[in-house]
Structure 1
Amino acid sequence: MSTEELTNEEIPKHYDPAATEQKWSNFWEENQFFHSEPDDREPFTVVIPPPNVTGVLHMGHMLNNTIQDVLVRRARMQGKNTCWVPGTDHASIATEAKVVQKLRKKGIKKSDLSRDKFMEHAWEWTDQHGGIILQQLKTIGASCDWKRTRFTLEEELYEAVISCFIQLYEDGYIYRGKRMINWDPAAQTALSDEEVIHKEVQSKLYHVRYKIKDSDQYVTIATTRPETILADTAVCVNPDDERYKGLIGKTAIIPMVNREVEIIADEYVDPEFGTGCLKITPAHDPNDYDLGIKHGLEIIDMLNADGTLSDAAEHYVGKDRFEARKLIIKDLEKQELLVKTEDMPNKVGYSERTDVVIEPRLSLQWFCKMEELSKPALDNVLNDEVQFHPAKFKNSYQHWMENIRDWCISRQLWWGHRIPAWYFGDGENEYVIARTEDEALEKAQEKSGKTLTADQLSQDEDVLDTWFSSWLWPISVFDGINKPDNREVNYYYPTQDLVTAPEIMFFWVARMIMAGYYFRDEKPFSNVYFHGIVRDEKRQKMSKSLGNSPDPLKLIEKYGADGTRVGMLFASPAGNDLLFDEALCEQGRNFSNKIWNAFRFLSMNKEAGTEYTPTLELDSDNLADRWMKSRILSTMKEVENDFEAYRLNEALKKLYSLVWDDFCDWYIEVSKSDVPGENMPKENLERALGLFELLMKLLHPFMPFITEEIWQRIQNRSTYEALTISEWPDIEGEADSEAIELFRQIQEQISAIRNIQAEMGLSPKAELEIKIKPAGSELAQQLETESWIYHKFLTISDIQFDTSIDKPKASASALVRGTELFIPLEGLIDLDKEKERIRKEIAKMEGFLKSVNGKLSNEKFVENAPDAVVEKERQKKADAESDIKILNESLENLEA
């Protein structure tokens, strides 16, 4: 793509993101600027946190991928071989739920289909909706290596997952067992602990009487789940609780089912909670299950997979668990067994995917032992081999890893990686682990000592937890499982930066670190940057389901991709939640317009037929050039430090100020011709264009589209040249601190004079006589030498710099760092009218102050009014006194 036409065509008056973004997105992809192959450069590898294959872009994706893109674009410009691998996750629970919902609308039940037929529908859904989100990521400017796009259910990655399962099983880490798990009645599958979201809800605590056999006595238990009474197999008290010592060993009768159970004692029971008397339901509570094992109690499972009551419940069979709760309460009331009901806050577990209340359930599942796997993953985070940014997240990581539990890895679904277990008999241990049916048959015959046929084998119906494939992601995307010594994985692994939210620290980050050290004996990445969660003004997490989340694509349509990226990053301090405000995106759009207007102004200063060569060779005798170069140098060093510390929003804010305030508002102005209406001198324009080109490079990682558009227009480029692959500016030389300090003083003085003009109602075009009394003779000489700068920003009839200047009669003044500024006002304003106006204002303020003092001198008001009201009146008094003082000083200046 030649840029000659761009540099010669008329520059539009307004920047149009819609006309720019798709053009450069196509240009970058067509020229494969983002594609990577191993070579002799330093690699910079990032793997995208794979979004759900059927998902669509939301605010979390927008933030996460913008941050990744900033890091990747900068690394690419630094000359590193950047490889940002995109991809999608098959998302077992979410995708299967969508397919089941779609089939239901067609009148088809999943149970009516064979597994193969259901998988046809699932793949059809995936083919239809999969990849939409990756296309949407392109609209925000994500510079991924799109040729490397991976999918967790593609053939090679499927094989990798199965290989890892087999390796872990053979090494003794994977086992099958009947344990208490989290059960999702909606998805009808097991969940890991990390897939359970605990919400504080308002529950009820029901106090129920249990009769003591062969007596008139009762004990009262308290429960939030009265429906589970039907599966109670014991009553438990604390052995030291004086209230119940006499009942230990006796028999209680469970209401409704009239089951006789023993009253047992265990220190686990908290005498202070509820009634101090606990019902034990081993099949439906993990703590009760442990007590049941300890005391050899019967285990009664009263729930079906869908959350309805089973035959074992004896009552309300087939009723939903929450409907059964209402019914049992009514029946307990009728039998006068319900003592009372209390409201209480309660933390209840909800499914992370379906948002239904989970049920603890005893179930035969596949588990992965985690204690040994977690040790190197913990040690290498604590010793900073893997660095967390911000480091504060190491504490929660350490706590979780030190209290880790075995991972339930099986899911009762069809969409996913099918567990490679093959059963050949009726016993729980009559199975083999194999890659194929033929291999399974051979192993089954060897294990059983019998001659078997393929018809006698049946593969496990379950699939693996989605995270079991995701934990391999940094390795598997480079085929490092199937081909552990291939060129790509040896070059790109370990990756450099992982960008993610802390909410999946345990779902994903911790497990990837475990997998990295187990399967490759090496960390999966060097740095983990945890960004915050996008929240609304009420601090609620933004969610389309809550209706509090804007559509990122509509934001891009309204503010442009660059403007939206800037808005997101402005609101995103490192490691803290992002309180999103759409006004920040508007600010980002305004910044784009400011940049465009500056470029358009510089371009309009070109003389027709004259060649302009942007240059960074600045005039060493020109204070403005020395200052601007030094401001860029110092800002670049600060930005480098911010990147090292992953303070991207701080880096952007510094560049924002450098471009908007320093370059646009001061440097361009000071570089203009001394003659109004004339074009900027050629040498000034070439220096301004050179600096502007440099600034576009610094801004490019944050605002890729507008910077590419301007960079291509500044001067002719070759066919395959692009800002996105240009060199990141080197930091050479030291900033001239004296130039920065002197220019800053001049800026502050000019600003102070402008403030006087505004306060006194002077026209900006009014010619001013300015008298400046510097703090020292050396400064006076320096300011006088640079007096030309004042003329660039102010309309001046005369300006003097002298340490012996006395305050002129009837003048306005200001003090800036020990330097006094005077503007004689005679002839500029009607002094008598101004003095009369000030006297009236003083009288008005004194009247207001009198009324405030009246309130504060009233003892009853001070004693009885709320503290905030009294404090507000005291502040009014202080403000009024300050205003009166300033007005009197102004009056004195005019009368002097």
Structure 2
Amino acid sequence: MTIDKTFDPATIEAHWYPYWESRGLFRPARETAEPFTIVIPPPNVTGSLHIGHALDNTLQDILVRHARLQGKDALWVVGTDHAGIATQMVVERAIAAQGLTRQEMGREAFLAHVWEWKAASGGQITRQLRRLGASCDWANERFTMDAGFSKAVVRAFVQLHREGLIYRDKRLVNWDPHFRTAISDLEVETRERNGQFWHLTYPLADGGGTISVATTRPETMLADMAVAVNPEDARYAALVGRQVRLPITGRLIPIVADEHADPALGSGAVKITPGHDFNDFEVGRRAGFKASEMLNMLDAEARVRQTADGLIPAELIGLDRFAARDAIVALLDRAGALEKIEDRVIQTPYGDRSGAVIEPWLTDQWYVDAAKLAGPAIEAVRSGAIRVVPETWKKTWYQWLENIQPWCVSRQLWWGHQIPAWYGPDGTAYVAESEADAQEQAGAGMALTRDADVLDTWFSSALWPFGTLGWPEDAAQAPFVPSEVEGRATGGEVERVSTTLDTNGDRGRTNSLLARHYPNDVLVSGFDILFFWDARMAMQGLHFLGEVPWRTLYLHGLVRAPDGSKMSKSKGNTVDPLGLIDRYGADALRFTLAAMESQGRDIKLDERRVEGYRNFATKLWNAARFAQANGIGGSVRAQPPETGNAIDRWIVAETVRTVQALDLALADLRFDEAANRLYHFVWDRFCDWYLELIKPVLQPAAQADEDRAASTRAVAGWVLDRILVMLHPFMPFITEELWHALSPRDHDLIVAEWPRVDAHAIDQGAVTEVEWLIRLIQEIRSARTELNVPPGAKLAMHVWADGEAVTERVHRQQGALERLARISDVRFSNLGVEGAAVQIVVDAVTYVLPLEGVIDVAAERARLDKAAAAAEKEAGSLAGRLGNPAFVEKARPEAVAKAREDHGAKLAEGERLRAALARLGV
């Protein structure tokens, strides 16, 4: 077909994605090929595509499309997460608009309503992923609450409980009073806000004085259980073991010695409320308080309730915590226990969805003994069974897993995997895969009540790499060996893990999807979920299957605003990837994200970069139109055509080098290197130079030159095909369109063959000659521009060189020099040139261009001298500013960075102008 004059991304994208998907091309039947597997980090079913998703899924799609082109059985597992708290919030808001609450509806009716919402509205982000071009295996889309995956979740919970790795305990959790549920650390957002420090005086019980403490939450003093001082603090040594009497409640509490108290902060004494502060909880345990003895003064809605000792005054019961704060401060003031109030900026935790201040709350929850699961995950990274890229994250991996705390996995929600536990009348929990199994454990006739809580969504998503592949149905379960679990807990040798990591991974598994695609090859993840998802997948995969879940963990950075600040809705600097796709096309956005993804660095996304890569796509489009107009089509050859033309041999060599560089970059997950190498090859080498150099060849003046033209067309077609294949993982839409436009094909580009090139195709002689030609033309063009030589003026060129090699090379490329450098004729002489001239040196050979009568040399000298002086003066001024400590230390960082950038630019400009002046010989 004829390639349209105008490149229209929207039309192309609307055609090709449904074409690929409807023909099953995202998962071609390749059962005997080498498997390649990626699982998508499942986006929330409530979500919409944000720029972080765009980056994460672009990188995955590059790897999957590349593997598919290599002929592998490439599987990209796709699906969504049920997102317990987020989904419940969305649906509760919807029914609230109808005047209903979930409590009024009842659990069963509410959950039915959530499923209806999911069916109608829960696919927004998957539709948006299609717009990005994500070539996932949609035919096997999964959901973390579909029947098969739910069975995996229940099996995992029951097995971990049977092994003693899941248990029920009373501990502090992050409690969201709005949703009335525990939430994970990831769902807590710490913000700075203006607050106060209240300094309080507690009297010693024996009347022997007072002790001062300071707090940001004076209301919690109703549940204080101790005052801590540092054991090295001589001021309080005599007070350790004595008691103080709390104002308001009159409770007697001990003074304890604990290193948590910092002698340098405030009075050095700290009030300890173990039921309402994570640090205090640990101090309380060290002081000998059992969790069951710790006082809890708040209910699930953060209202004051009576403590076990009944000492809280009745007028405070039922008050919201913040109203209670005002009332308690007033009571303390009247009792003479309020020393002073100090304004402070306070770090305050908020629920990221509710916006409510999070309360550390003492409650009974289900926990995973994460410390016992962490050992194999640590060993897997240390041994290299899991390759972490960039390696700098390995240290963070070790630090977190070596200090891991019990993992709270229960949530007080209705939407989610309901915990498979049933309680007898005495509170005994019976954990089983079904109520019938639980009844069998409890005994016939015992009345059982199902646990109302659901599991943390991170618990189910931790099973994603194998639960999506058929586990547990397609896997035999390994027998539980208590000593192995104990060995993990004590840091002993992890023999089972280190042994199975070296096997082919058949640990009882059948020849199934699970056997073929587990372990996965690579996980692409944001570093911000390293602990919440990545590490937990490693722990669960190693525990249940004895193998790592993926061989490589790639952690990318964040996408930030152009100035480097974090994107946020409150700042108004967020970027809508769908808007960018609308304006510039998916290919341009994808290529931008890949080109800017440098290991270990965040991306400062500037829309101008996306526009620039849209221009790159347009450049490729126009190059293909030129090729088609000049009889250049697709190629059926795997290896390059034979040719005697140096320029053709040069572009073949450049193509081979690019394939080699691309293979290395993608193997090392250097997306930026791969994209930038492709960009410069396509734009600079192929479009700007090769197509320009071969134009005369493609339009032969005589029939005798037609054979050379045919040879060049064959080479150009072969190179253009290689370009489309190499670019396809990055820019799938335009490349598929051009692939079919250039020639009739018996297969689609998405399932074409990745270039397999022979290094012997690199003709170094041709490379040397054409690189010389390009440098010489660039130098001549630069000199003409700097000296204001009129574009239409042709210049003679004197070559000062001895030897036939230079002479022959110039003669061979004289046509290109005349056309592209505007040279009128070439003379070989070492004699001087009369009048003004510009001298150019390339590869130790001097080329002289006479300027007499072409430009006003005196005026040009004056112009260059003046411009150079101005640039040098401005560079000096900027150097003065940068040398002023007051500016560097007090100015905004972006202002200092801009000054440094401008200084460097002005220095370079001055040097360039001085060089042009020096080159202007007489």
Q: Structure 1: where are the runs of 5+ without partners?
A: 1-6, 446-450
Counterparts of 2:326 and 2:807, CA distance in 1: 88
> 2-side partners of 1:416 and 1:163: how far apart?
15
CA distance in 2, matches of 1:725, 1:871: 48
CA deviation profile, 1:258-311 (whole Å, cap 9, x unmatched): 333233334442222221112121211233223334434552211111222223
Contact 1:100–1:110, Cα closer than 8 Å, also in 2: yes
Query: Which shifted more, 506-515 or 322-331?
Result: 322-331
The aligned amino acid for 2:437 is E
In structure 2, the residue matched to 1:472 is 463
Cα shift at 1:635? 1.6
Structure-2 separation of matches of 1:153 and 1:850? 68
Which of 110, 113, 119 is the equivalent residue of 2:111? Answer: 119
Change (3 A) 1:676 1:839: farther
> Which of 579, 589, 603 is residue 628 of structure 2 equivalent to?
603
1:229 and 1:464 map into 2 onto residues whose CA distance is 33
2:630/2:698 contact within 8 Å kept: no
Distance 1:876 1:137 in 2: 41
Aligned residues of 2:68 and 2:751 also touching (Cα < 8 A): yes
Match of 2:662 in 1: 639
Aligned length: 862
Is 1:583 matched up with 2:578? no
Distance 2:900 2:125 in 1: 54
Contact 2:556 2:599 in 1 (8 A): yes
Secondary structure of the 2:585 match is helix
Query: 1:699 pairs with 727, 734, 737, which one?
Result: 727
Shift of 1:885: 5.3
| 8 Å CA contact 2:273, 2:281 repeated in 1 | yes
Map of 1:130 onto structure 2: 122
Amino acid at match of 2:445: L
In structure 1, distance between residues paired with 2:429 and 2:911: 87
Secondary structure of 2:759's counterpart equals coil
Deviations 1:580-621 (A, max 9, x none): 1111110111011000111111112239xxx98676644543
Change (3 A) 1:331 1:546: farther
1:333-732 map, 5 Å: 333-344=333-344, 346-427=346-427, 430-445=428-443, 451-452=444-445, 456-484=447-475, 485-486=509-510, 487-544=512-569, 546-606=571-631, 617-618=640-641, 620-673=643-696, 681-718=709-746, 721-732=747-758
Q: Displacement, 1:622?
A: 1.3
Equivalent-residue separation in structure 2 for 1:40 and 1:880 (angstroms): 60
Is the counterpart of residue 281 in structure 1 residue 279 in structure 2? no
* CA–CA separation in structure 1 for the residues paired with 2:885 and 2:236: 54
Shift of 1:835: 1.3
Q: In structure 2, which of residues 134, 141, 161 is the aligned counterpart of residue 142 of structure 1?
A: 134
SS state of the match for residue 46, structure 2?
Answer: coil
The superposition leaves residues 559-586 of structure 1 with CA deviations (integer Å, 9 ceiling, x where unpaired) of: 0110111122222212321111111110
Mapped partners of 2:556, 2:327: distance in 1: 47
The root-mean-square deviation of aligned C-alpha atoms, in Å, is: 3.2
Distance 1:840 1:166, change over 3 A: closer
Q: 1:77 pairs with 62, 69, 74, which one?
A: 69
* Counterpart code for 1:819: V
Change over 3 Å in CA distance of 1:330–1:745 after alignment to 2: farther
Check 1:690–1:835 CA distance in 2 against 1; reply closer, same or farther (3 A cut): same
> Partners in 1 of 2:91 and 2:319 — Cα distance?
26
In structure 1, C-alpha distance between the alignment counterparts of 2:908 and 2:667, rounded to whole Å: 45
Deviation at 1:779, TM superposition (A): 3.7
How big is each residue's C-alpha offset from its partner over 1:487-519, in whole Å with a ceiling of 9 and x where there is no partner? 111111111111111111111111111111111
1:53 aligns with 2:45: yes
Name the stretch that deviates more: 18-27 or 70-79: 18-27
Q: Which moved more, 1:835-844 or 1:151-160?
A: 835-844
Instruction: Give yes or no for contact 1:196–1:351 (8 Å, CA) kept in 2.
Output: yes
Equivalent residue letter for 2:408: C
For residue 303 of structure 2, what is the aligned residue in structure 1? 308
Contact 1:674 1:792 in 2 (8 A): no
Whole-Å separation in 2 of the counterparts to 1:138 and 1:877: 46
TM-superposition CA deviations, 1:4-42 (whole Å, max 9, x none):
xxx2xx321111111111211111112111125561110
Q: Distance in 2 between matches of 1:96 and 1:657?
A: 49
The 8 Å contact of residues 86 and 149 in structure 1, kept in 2 or not, is answered as: yes
1:769 and 1:444, CA in 2 relative to 1: closer, same or farther beyond 3 A?
same
SS in 1 for 2:15: helix
Distance in 1 (alpha carbons) for counterparts of 2:44 and 2:902? 57
**In the aligned structure 2, how far is the partner of 1:70 from the partner of 1:201?**
43
Task: Rate the CA distance shift 1:541–1:766 in 2: closer, same or farther, 3 A.
Answer: same
Letter paired with 2:742: I
After TM superposition, the score normalised by the length of structure 2 is 0.87
Deviation by residue 1:683-715 (Cα, 9 ceiling, x = unmatched):
333321221111111100000000000010111
The aligned amino acid for 1:690 is W
CA distance in 1, matches of 2:267, 2:513: 63
Deviations along 1:73-116, one digit per CA (max 9) or x if unpaired, are: 01001000111111000011111111122222222222323210
Cα contact 1:441–1:457 (8 A) shared by 2 = yes
Matched residue type, 1:822: V
Q: Distance in 2 between matches of 1:851 and 1:279?
A: 60
Of 351-360 and 116-125, deviating more is 351-360
Identity in percent: 38
Query: Which runs of structure 2 are paired with 1:59-70 in the superposition (5 Å)?
Result: 59-70=51-62
What is the one-letter code of the residue matched to 1:395?
Answer: K
**Following the alignment from structure 2 to structure 1, what is the Cα–Cα distance between the partners of residues 886 and 424?**
83
- Tell me if structure 2 keeps the 8 A contact 1:501–1:531: yes
> Does the Cα contact within 8 Å between 1:773 and 1:780 map onto a contact in 2?
no
How far residue 236 of structure 1 moved from its aligned partner, in angstroms, is 2.6
SS of match in other structure, 2:631: coil
Structure 1 residue 771 displacement after superposition: 1.6
Which SS does the other structure have where 1:496 is aligned? Answer: strand
Distance 1:779 1:642 in 2: 37
CA shift digits 1:824-867 (9 cap, x unpaired): 123423xxx431453476579779999999x99x9xxx999979
Q: Distance in 1 between matches of 2:546 and 2:903?
A: 67
Alpha-carbon spacing, 1:647–1:878, altered in 2? closer, same or farther (3 Å): closer
Name the SS for the 2:739 alignment partner.
Answer: helix
The verdict on how the C-alpha distance between 1:106 and 1:678 changes in structure 2, with shifts beyond 3 A counting, is farther
Q: Is the deviation greater in 89-98 or in 194-203?
A: 194-203
| Pair 877,104 (structure 1): closer, same or farther in 2 beyond 3 Å | closer
1:631–1:881 CA distance, 2 compared to 1 (3 A): closer
Q: Could you tell me which amino acid in structure 1 is paired with residue 686 of structure 2?
A: F
Q: Structure 1's 83 and 880: CA in aligned 2 closer, same or farther, altered over 3 A?
A: closer
Contact 2:247 2:335 in 1 (8 A): no
Contact 1:418/1:463 (8 A) holds in 2: yes
